[in-house]
Amino acid sequence: MSVTLIVGAQWGDEGKGKIVDLLSNDAEIVARYQGGANAGHTIVISGKQYILHLIPSGILNAGVKCVIGNGVVIDPAALMNEIQMLKDHGIDVTDRLFISHRAHLIMPYHKKLDEARENAGNAIGTTGRGIGPSYIDKSKRTGIRIVDLLDRKSFEEKLRANIKEHNELLTKIYGHSELDVEEIVETYLAFDKAIDPYVTDTTLLLNQAIQEGKNVIVEGAQGAMLDLDHGTYPFVTSSNPTSGGACTGLGIPPTAINDVIGIVKAYATRVGNGPFPTELDDDMGEYLRATGHEFGATTGRKRRCGWLDLFALKYSVMVNGINKIALTKLDVLDGLKEIKVCVGYKENGRNLKSLPADCKVLDNVELEYVTLKGWNTSLAGIREFDKLPQEVKDYITYIENYVGAKVTIASISPDRADTIIR
């Protein structure tokens, strides 16, 4: 009976959805703590694929309760689409989905501003889902929360004031046309009814479950290198995907967390702009993209690909307190005779001790690589750790020794069934 926190250990898209789905089989609750519909978590069960953006990846296990915590920013339209998508697949979320009163809403003006800022130059390469502008309003203390939907009069007042302010920004700074106030007010007042059945005090729900010793899985979105504080700022998302974000984003104490499982892709990818030291702009990068089907689950964009960056991963293990690793997409490396891993960064010939804070430095670090032997054979069908080729075991041991955390899960295909538990 425990609380297991699952975090993306790299730049997102490590395979969190697959592992959360797998582990939620014997969980009572699965809870998301940050981000919004910028996430795209893919789950494949017997060849059938589901992509979730807001609803936790435990929803495909009947009987598991799913919580969207206070730290998440909710786009009601995206949420409704997802509930409908699940319904179309025969999955009813009634009495299984719980949404925090304290979660903030994403409004049409957040998405417009996101787009306008990106087009104005120095693009971050956002998902365009309004994430940054919504978290800005939250910090600015003008954001609109789920709880505000309960009081129509004050909701309408807050909404009108917000639209006015954002219309000023959109028209005067970004040269956009004004958004239609009445249309937004009408749409959002209608969401009230649709969301109401799911709204509850999720902080109490979770803490009671924890006190009763229930199994709780906490699901992160994005990854450590996209963390607002610890990632490659400013090329980051606007929330804290790292472990600390789980406590603030759900209202659970750090002392309640028993394990932190870092989801690690066997190589590295990044979608969007910003430093990516081990990026491969060559045939090998193309090979990884094609073999790993590295295209965004939310935007369909090409993911940038590169070798596994152990130097960055060690930093991520430290910041997150990762004690266990789920290593995914090992099968993508099946055809390689040699695999490289980055084991050090240098600046002007000097070894760096940890991840530099300055993006300009990160962009220009010299990399130290170690070449390991590939297994050059298919891993398909392997179900036991002992049956893995020696070269895979050696790759795993190298990672464990370098970062100081144990690989307890290995994944060899998108399907739930193709997972090796050690």
Active site residue ranges: 13, 41
Bridge partners, residue 259, by sequence: 4
Cα end-to-end distance, the chain, whole Å: 19
Q: Does 12 bind ligand IMO (CB under 6 A)?
A: yes
Contact 339, 333 (CB under 8 A): yes
Q: Which of 126, 232, 278, 413 binds ligand IMO (CB under 6 A)?
A: 126
> Using omega within 30 degrees of 0 as the cis cutoff, is the peptide bond preceding 389 cis?
no
What residue type is assigned to position 244 of the chain?
A: G
Does 127 bind ligand IMO (CB under 6 A)? Our answer is: yes
Q: What is the 3-state secondary structure (H, E, C) of 336-396?
A: CCEEEEEEEEEECCEECCCCCCCHHHHHHCEEEEEEEECCCCCCCCCCCHHHCCHHHHHHH
Nearest to 219 by CA among 183, 178, 252: 252
Tell me which of ligand GDP, ligand IMO, Mg ion, none is bound by residue 127, counting a contact when its beta carbon lies within the kind-specific cut-off of 5 to 8 angstroms.
ligand IMO
Structural contact between residues 419 and 412, judged by C-beta atoms closer than 8 angstroms = yes
DSSP-assigned letter for residue 171: I
292 contacts ligand IMO (rule: CB under 6 A): no
Residue 131 C-beta: closest distance to ligand IMO, Å: 4
Distance CA 117, CA 122 (A): 9
The backbone torsions φ and ψ at residue 206, rounded to the nearest 5 degrees and listed phi first, read -70, -45
Q: How far is the CB of 399 from Mg ion (least distance, A)?
A: 21
Work out which of 34, 412, 416, 420 binds ligand GDP, going by CB under 6 A. Answer: 412
At position 341, the amino acid (one-letter code) is V
Stretch binding ligand GDP (CB under 6 A), from 24-32, 40-48, 201-209, 315-323: 40-48
Site for ligand IMO contains 227 (CB under 6 A): no
* Under rule CB under 6 A, residue 44 binds ligand GDP: yes
Choose which of 3, 15, 114, 235 interacts with ligand GDP (CB under 6 A): 15
Q: Does 129 bind ligand IMO (CB under 6 A)?
A: yes
Binding footprint of ligand IMO, residue count (CB under 6 A): 23
Q: Is 245 in the site for ligand IMO (CB under 6 A)?
A: no
Going by C-beta distance under 8 Å and a sequence separation of 6 or more, which residues neighbour residue 140?
none
CA dist list (Å): 284 to 6, 291, 333: 29, 10, 11
Say whether residue 328 binds ligand GDP (CB under 6 A).
yes
- For Mg ion, the binding residues in 7-36 under the rule CB under 5 A are 13
Q: Which stretch binds ligand IMO (CB under 6 A): 33-41, 68-76, 182-190, 192-200?
A: 33-41
Min CB(173)–Mg ion separation in Å: 31
Instruction: Using CB under 6 A, list all residues that contact ligand IMO.
Output: 8, 12-13, 38-41, 124-127, 129, 131-132, 221-223, 226, 237-238, 271-272, 297
Instruction: Using CB under 6 A, list all residues that contact ligand GDP.
Output: 8, 12-18, 40-42, 44, 292, 297, 328-329, 331-332, 411-414
